[in-house]
């Protein structure tokens, strides 16, 4: 394995820019949010007290844990966290159920077809997310495309209320995040060793059991990657629940927005954010270390 110690000089130089980028663009903002979470609210700009004060002779550090206590004590926040996790878990599962057959189907096509189909999967990225979500509003609203179609076909006699419900949130999230699930699973399945399937067939497996006993377990790493790519951003998703959801889908992204911009309580908003990061980072780190042990 390559480690920092065994690397050559040029290799070390090569990894400096990405680390520098991550430090400036990711670590520094995270530390700033943490600092705001540990400060006190005040009226003014910025709307929080400085963490460090220097009066010419003495450095004082004012750490304020009240924001965290407030967020942890108030049942509302716990409820919102749970709703976010539930919505993220269910949408991840739904996305997986659509993405896996799609990725498998593409990987079974002849080579020249595959890149075209993958292209179609990522085409939506070429337009703005907001526009696509507004399009869904037009499709799902009471006088929208879907209801008009169903009414026209005579399947329903009055419009279904889909927009501004949790169903609309799931539809929007699954639609938005589908490519993030399809791509890692597809790249895993496209690389699969066909001789393993032949070996399974040769040893007595039919088409289904050779898939279930060989292809599927070997695609688990793609599934885990796809689920992480969907689950993590969906927990903090703001746009889709805000535009498609109703009062019953209060997710954490919305809460953070409200704290920051409506209540102008930056320290509480930052605390909610820090807790969200912890909520996601700790289980994912555990999962990662389990996976890397499994691979040996």
Partner 1 sequence: MQTSFLTLDGLSKTYGNFIAVSGISLDVGKGEFFSLLGPSGCGKSTLLRTIAGFEIPTAGSVLLDGADVTALPPEKRPTNMMFQSYALFPHLSVAKNIVFGLIQDRLPKAEIAVRLSDVADKLQLGALLERKPSQLSGGQRQRVALARALVKRPKVLLLDEPLGALDKNLRAETQDELVRLQKELGLTFIIVTHDQHEAMTVSSRIAIMQSGRVLQVGSPETVYEAPISRYVAKFLGETNIFEVATASSDHGLATVVLSGFDGTYRARLPFGMSTEGPLWLAVRPERVELARRGEGVPGVVQGITYTGSQRRYRIGLSMGATLDAVRVNSGGDDVQIGDAVVARWADEAAHLLAE
Who contacts 265 (Cβ-Cβ below 8 Å, separation ≥6)?
A: 41, 47, 259
CB 67 within 8 A of CB 78: no
* Start-to-end C-alpha separation, the chain: 12
Shortest spacing between CB 227 and partner 1, in angstroms: 18
Shortest spacing between CB 203 and partner 1, in angstroms: 3
Q: Is 56 left (phi over 0), alpha (psi -120 to 50) or beta?
A: left
Q: Which is nearer to partner 1, 11 or 209 (CB)?
A: 209
Could you tell me which of 149, 232, 234, 219 has the C-alpha nearest to residue 187? 219
Shortest spacing between CB 215 and partner 1, in angstroms: 11
Q: Which is nearer to partner 1, 176 or 219 (CB)?
A: 219
What DSSP character marks residue 108?
H
Q: Which is nearer to partner 1, 116 or 206 (CB)?
A: 206
Site for partner 1 in 8-27 (CB under 8 A): none
* Relative orientation angle of helices 166-190 and 111-122, to the nearest 10 degrees: 150
Q: Which is nearer to partner 1, 14 or 203 (CB)?
A: 203
Site for partner 1 in 194-253 (CB under 8 A): 195-196, 198-206, 209, 213-214, 217-218
Shortest spacing between CB 187 and partner 1, in angstroms: 17
Distances from the Cα of 179 to the Cα of 98, 101, 118, 186, 244, angstroms? 11, 13, 9, 10, 20
Percent helix, strand, coil in the chain, to 5, is 75, 5, 25
Who contacts 42 (Cβ-Cβ below 8 Å, separation ≥6)?
A: 48, 49
Q: Which is nearer to partner 1, 20 or 203 (CB)?
A: 203
Site for partner 1 in 60-99 (CB under 8 A): none
Q: Which is nearer to partner 1, 74 or 193 (CB)?
A: 193
HSE-CB of 135 using CA atoms within 13 angstroms: 9
Shortest spacing between CB 287 and partner 1, in angstroms: 18
Shortest spacing between CB 195 and partner 1, in angstroms: 4
Shortest spacing between CB 189 and partner 1, in angstroms: 14
Site for partner 1 in 101-160 (CB under 8 A): none
Q: Which is nearer to partner 1, 21 or 212 (CB)?
A: 212
Site for partner 1 in 167-196 (CB under 8 A): 193, 195-196
Q: Report the interface residues with partner 1, using CB under 8 A.
A: 193, 195-196, 198-206, 209, 213-214, 217-218
């Amino acid at each position: 394995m390559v480690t920092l110690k065994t690397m050559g000089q040029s290799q070390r130089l090569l990894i400096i820019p990405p680390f520098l980028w991550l430090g400036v663009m990711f670590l520094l903002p995270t530390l700033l949010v943490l600092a705001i979470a540990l400060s006190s609210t005040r009226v003014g700009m910025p709307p929080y007290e400085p963490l460090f004060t220097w009066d010419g002779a003495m450095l004082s550090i004012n750490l304020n844990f009240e924001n965290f206590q407030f967020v942890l004590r108030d049942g509302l926040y716990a409820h919102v966290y749970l709703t976010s996790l539930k919505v993220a878990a269910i949408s991840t599962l739904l996305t997986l159920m659509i993405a896996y057959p799609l990725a498998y189907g593409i990987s079974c096509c002849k080579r020249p077809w595959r890149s075209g189909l993958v292209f179609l999967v990522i085409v939506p990225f070429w337009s703005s997310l907001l526009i696509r979500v507004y399009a869904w509003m037009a499709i799902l609203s009471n006088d929208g495309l879907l209801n008009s179609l169903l009414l026209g076909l005579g399947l329903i006699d009055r419009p279904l209320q889909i927009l501004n419900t949790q169903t609309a949130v799931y539809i929007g999230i699954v639609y938005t995040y589908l490519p993030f699930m399809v791509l890692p699973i597809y790249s895993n399945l496209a690389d699969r060793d066909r001789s393993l399937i032949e070996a399974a067939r040769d040893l007595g497996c039919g088409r289904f059991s050779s898939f279930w006993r060989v292809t599927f377990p070997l695609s688990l790493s793609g599934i885990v990657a796809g689920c992480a790519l969907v689950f993590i951003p969906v927990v903090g998703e703001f746009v889709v629940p805000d535009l498609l959801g109703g009062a019953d889908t209060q997710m954490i992204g919305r809460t953070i927005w409200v704290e920051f911009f409506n209540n102008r309580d930056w320290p509480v908003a930052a605390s909610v954010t820090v807790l969200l990061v912890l909520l996601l980072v700790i289980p994912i780190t555990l999962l990662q270390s389990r996976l890397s042990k499994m691979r040996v």
